[in-house]
Each structure stands twice: as structure tokens, then as C-alpha cells.
Structure 1
Amino acid sequence: MAKLGNAAAAIKPKGSVKAKVIGGVVVGVIALIILFNIFNFANTDTNRIGLHYGGGIIEDKKFKSIIPPGSTNSLIGPGDTVYTYPIDQRSYIIGGDGADTDSGDEVTVVSKDNVRLGVRVQVYFTLNRDKDVIKSFHERIGLKTEAYEERGWNTMLQSYFRPQIDRALAAVATNYGWAELYNNEAKKSQFQSAAAKEFTRLLPAAVGGDYFCGPGYNGNNDCGELSFTVQKPMPLDKGIIDGLEAKQRAELAKATQEQKNQQVNVELQSVKQQVAMLGAQGYLLKTAIESGKIQFMVIPQNGNVSIPVPTTTQSGQPNQEPSTPPAR
């Protein structure tokens, strides 16, 4: 009996082993979940920079560090957040197709002579990635407009870029007549330079800092100025352009007629001089000879000249045979 009892004690149920294995797996999964919540990781694309902000239970939501572009599995704390912003060249285009574009639109300005003009604009720039500057941009502008998202970025451009572009162009357009801006390249270049200067003055004041640099900025060189270009300003009233073109055609026709009149006067003076020198009959004879109405031949003295004399063939068609006149 004792032997039978010992044998029964040695036999263990298989279900208890399974339970322990399943329990171990569950504990392991829970441990991994806890681990991934404690140790959070962040990644950034090669054309985006990250701003790491704390967000744990026992710490404030404040700036911690910069996550460089192209980072993979950067360790951050539980509950922390990383906001990413583009560092490559960006654009804001009014009246054209493409990214960051306010398409189908144009800026309306009034010229010095009170003509309403439509202006299309292209601005190219990069985000200033200096740590203190980009942190200020995020906290003052980025959070409010959600510029770390693509839709929020476009909202930010529309909210801050567009009003300053409108103001800059309106301020300088009143210094030029509409025709100067329409068909005078030098005046248009002056207008563009003045508008760019005014825009670069207005934008930092509107956003609260030098958050934007030129398109050639790479994070290690000087910030530089934004690229600001304008296309040819066009009158909104197309009849004005038609009137200008008609005026230009009339002036061209007038200039052409004046040139013809000058040529006639020169020829008339030449005729007067020849009449004075040759006489009226001499001039008429000279003119007839030059026009081919009078033909003559100079025969050398004591020379033989063959002159074709028309004859009639059997078919009745004239035939020219040379004849030799008597020598003189």
C-alpha cells in the first residue's frame, strides 16, 4: 500500500504545467507592455526635426531636447511627445499650382494711377532650426495652428504669410503707374525689390521672431533672406490692356509713316538735284534708260557687231539669224 501511495504522489497532472506556461506568457506580455510604456521611442524623417516635450505623470509638459532629422528609435520618457517640423525648402505661392499653394488666387493692388492690378507671388524659404528659435516658433505659432501637421502648416502660412504679402504689395504698388508695372521690366524689378524688402520687415513683426530663413539655409550657415518674386502685374480690367495695345499699334503705324515720309523727302531732293544738273529732258531720258523703256547699244568704232535679225521659217515661226552690219 505504501508503494502505491508513493507512485500516486509521483504522478503530476499535465494541466498544471500548461497553466504555468500560459501564465508565464501572460506575465511576459504584460511586462513588455509596461516596458514599452516606460521606455518610449521616437523617429524622425530625414527632412523633419523633432521637438521633445515631457508629458509624464510626475513631470511638467516642458521642452526636453531636439530630435535630429533622420533619428531612429530615440528613447524618450513615458507619455512624452515629439512634434516634428519640416527643414527642407518650402514655398508659399499665390496664383499657381504646387505644394503650399494658394491656387486660383492673386493679390489685388491699386497703382499710382488708380488701376486695380492682380499680382501673383512666389515665396521660398526654410524654417530656422536654431534650438531656441524653433522652440519659440513651436510654442508661439506651431501649437496654436498645429503646424507640425501638414494641414496645420498650410493654415499657418495662410494666417501669417498671406496678410503680410498683401500689405507689402499694397504699400509699394502706389509708387508706380500701371503701365510701368505691366510693360517696363526695370520698373517691375524695382517694384519686386521694394515689395520683398517690405515683406521681410513685416513678417518677423507679425509672427514674433526670425522663424524663417532663405531657401539656401541648411542649419549651419547664415539664415539669409526669403526669396520673394512677383509675376507681371495684370490689370483686372482687360479692356485697359486692349486700349494700351491699340495705342501702341497706332504709335507704331505713325512711326512707320513718318519713316516713309522721310524716305520720300530724300528721294525728292535727289530728283531736284539731278534735274538741276541734267535738265528736265535729260532727267527724263536718264529715267527712261534706267527703267528699260529705251534700249541702246554702244558700237565700238571700226568694230563688227552681230545683231539678230528675225526671219520666217517654213513653219511660219520667226527665226533670228545673226547678220553683220557694214563696218563703220
Structure 2
Amino acid sequence: MPQTPSFSAPASAARRLGKIAAGLGLLLFVLLLMLVFIRPTTVSTGPDQVALHYSDGAFTPRRFQECVPSSTRAWDGPGDKHYSYPASQRNYVFGEGGDRGPMTFVTKDGIEMSVDGVAAFLLDTGDCETLRKFHDLIGNRYAAYMDSSDGNGSAGWLAMLSVYLSRPLETAIDRASQNYTYTELYTDPTVKAQWERDVLEQLPDLVGRQIDGDEAFFTDFAITLQKPVPPESVKAALVAQQEAVARAKAKEAEAAAQVKAAEAQVAVEKAEAAKIAERIKVLGKEGYLKQYAIDAGLNPYQPTTGGLITDRE
């Protein structure tokens, strides 16, 4: 009988190759899975940044580990988190194109004004424990840590400042403004400078009241306020008033000048009269008149009819 061809050897080889491929695929999957869970995390802080390191891996509890100082690159465990905060002076700008619009306030005489300016401050990153408390109480709640892609403050940073800095600053400006009229703030640089100092004096305490606990997370405040601006209608009235005062002062100065000119003229005339009186004493009245005529280009010695020779018959 003819023998049927046997395919057992090639089939067995194919099965072995399939098992090997499956094994390699499983190994690759395991390696990729391990890479996801065990690859280290890294942080690189700039010269004006400090970072907080928290463990947060798949098999570790979320727990604070350490502070990472400025200008440092570090590698930590898989899944760990790093949160960067600014270590240099920060500015909060209010006004057109700033972090928020102008701040409004009411003066002693009840006029609403607005002002642009800048509030400068430092976040206390010098003490690691203080920074950790800030992150746990405030920073993490608002996601206020820095955007690591460009080193700028995040949207959460501005949201946090709107609560912990902007509102206290509004209160400080409003309270300080109760001591001054709008004309003083608008026209007197000395009063405006004192008003600015009053705002700065109140700000640290008002900021501290927003924070639970005794920590001073924000320090080294500085304030720069631009010239406050009243409503347009009030400004127009004030300008008109100033123009009227200027015109009145100009008229007063003109009148004073005319008085002085008249007084000077009287003094000249008195001096001339005294001079004439002295000359009369020397020349006599008739002699003075003759001399005056001569000085004026006249001839005081005109012929008279009494001196004419007439024909005698």
C-alpha cells in the first residue's frame, strides 16, 4: 500500500515557534509593565526655584520626603511627585494688562477712585518645614505650584493670590483711603506717598489673617501705587476748578503788577517834584521857568511891544 506523507515534524516545529513567540511577547509585556512602575522620576529646579518631593509610587504611601534646593537635578522613586515654588521675589500686578484689574476704593469725602499698582513679596521657601506646610494647607489645594515647562506661575498660583493677597490688599487700600480726600490723593504727591506707606503698613497683618495658623508664608512686602484716578465727571470738575483758580491767580498777579507799576510811577513823580522844588530854591520861580523853556528848546526872551521904537511925529 502507498504510505501517507507525515506532517508531524513540521507541525511540531511550528507549535514550538508559536510558544517561543508567545513567551517573548509576554516577557516584553512584563518588561514594559515593570518600566511603567519602576522607572525613576526626576526633578530639575532653576536658580529661583525650590521643590518639594513626595513619595507616591504604586506600592508606597503618599508622604513628604524632602525639599529640593535651587539649581538641583535629582532622581527619585517611581511615581514620586515634585512640586516647585518660586524662591525669588514675585510681583502681583493690578491694572490694565496685569494679573487683575485696577483696585477701587472710597475716599474720606465719599468719592470712588481706582488705582493701578504692583505688590511685591516673597514666598518663604528658606525654611523647608514652612514651605511644606504652605503646600499642604494652600498650595496643593489651589494647584499653586509653578509650571515646570516655563517656570511661570500657574493659573492655580493666580487663583491662590486672588484669595490670600488680592483681597487683603483691597482692604488695606480702602482703609488707608478713609484718611484722605480725593483732591489730596489726586493732586498732592506728599499725601499720595503717605497713603502708599499706610497701605504697606497694614498689608502683612491682613494677609496673615487669611492663613490658618501662625505661619507667615508671605514676607518682604513692597507696594507701588500709581496716581489714583477719580471718575471722569469728577476729574472734569476738578480740572475746571483748577483752571478757574489758575485764572483767578493770574488776574490777581496782573492787578498786583499794575499796583506796583502805579506805585513806581508815583515815586518817580515825587522824586521829580522834589528835584524841581530844589531847582526853584536855587533859580527862583522865574529863573526855573526860563531854564525849563531853554531845556525844552524854547526862547524865553521874546520881544515885547514895550520894547519897540515907534515913529514920532
> What does residue 82 of structure 2 align with?
82
> What does residue 117 of structure 2 align with?
121
Do the aligned partners of residues 138 and 257 (structure 1) sit closer, same or farther apart at CA in structure 2, a change above 3 Å counting?
Answer: same
- Counterparts of 1:40-189 in structure 2, within 5 Å, are 40-46=40-46, 47-72=48-73, 74-98=74-98, 101-102=99-100, 105-129=101-125, 130-148=127-145, 149=147, 150-189=154-193
- Counterparts of 1:1-328 in structure 2, within 5 Å, are 27=27, 30-31=30-31, 33-35=33-35, 37-46=37-46, 47-72=48-73, 74-98=74-98, 101-102=99-100, 105-129=101-125, 130-148=127-145, 149=147, 150-208=154-212, 209-213=215-219, 225-236=220-231, 237-279=234-276
CA distance in 1, matches of 2:242, 2:21: 91
> What does residue 6 of structure 2 align with?
none
CA distance in 1, matches of 2:144, 2:42: 19
Q: Deviations over 1:92-130 (max 9, x none)?
A: 1111435xx21xx22222222222221222111232102
> What does residue 291 of structure 1 align with?
none
Do the aligned partners of residues 75 and 29 (structure 1) sit closer, same or farther apart at CA in structure 2, a change above 3 Å counting?
Answer: farther
Unaligned runs of 5+ in 1: 1-8, 214-224, 283-293, 297-328
CA distance in 2, matches of 1:212, 1:245: 43
CA distance in 1, matches of 2:261, 2:42: 86
Conserved 8 A contact 1:196-1:229: no
Aligned residues: 258
Deviation, structure 1 residue 19: 7.5
Conserved 8 A contact 1:52-1:67: yes
> What does residue 308 of structure 2 align with?
none
Conserved 8 A contact 1:40-1:77: yes
Q: Which moves more between the two structures, 62-71 or 18-27?
A: 18-27
Q: Deviations over 1:198-253 (max 9, x none)?
A: 1122112213431123xxxxxxxxxxx21111111121232233233223323431
TM-score normalised per structure 1: 0.68
CA distance in 2, matches of 1:92, 1:126: 11
CA distance in 1, matches of 2:296, 2:15: 136
Conserved 8 A contact 1:147-1:153: yes
Query: Which protein is richer in helix relative to its size?
Result: 2
Q: Deviations over 1:11-63 (max 9, x none)?
A: xx799689858955863673364145224212234033221122235543221
SS state at 1:234 partner: coil
Do the aligned partners of residues 143 and 188 (structure 1) sit closer, same or farther apart at CA in structure 2, a change above 3 Å counting?
Answer: same
CA distance in 1, matches of 2:15, 2:273: 140
> What does residue 285 of structure 2 align with?
none
SS state at 1:235 partner: coil
Do the aligned partners of residues 26 and 262 (structure 1) sit closer, same or farther apart at CA in structure 2, a change above 3 Å counting?
Answer: farther
Q: Deviations over 1:280-315 (max 9, x none)?
A: 9x9xxxxxxxxxxx998xxxxxxxxxxxxxxxxxxx
CA distance in 1, matches of 2:28, 2:182: 76
Root-mean-square deviation (Å): 3.1
Conserved 8 A contact 1:200-1:226: yes
CA distance in 1, matches of 2:26, 2:58: 26
TM-score normalised per structure 2: 0.71
Do the aligned partners of residues 21 and 57 (structure 1) sit closer, same or farther apart at CA in structure 2, a change above 3 Å counting?
Answer: closer
Do the aligned partners of residues 26 and 67 (structure 1) sit closer, same or farther apart at CA in structure 2, a change above 3 Å counting?
Answer: farther
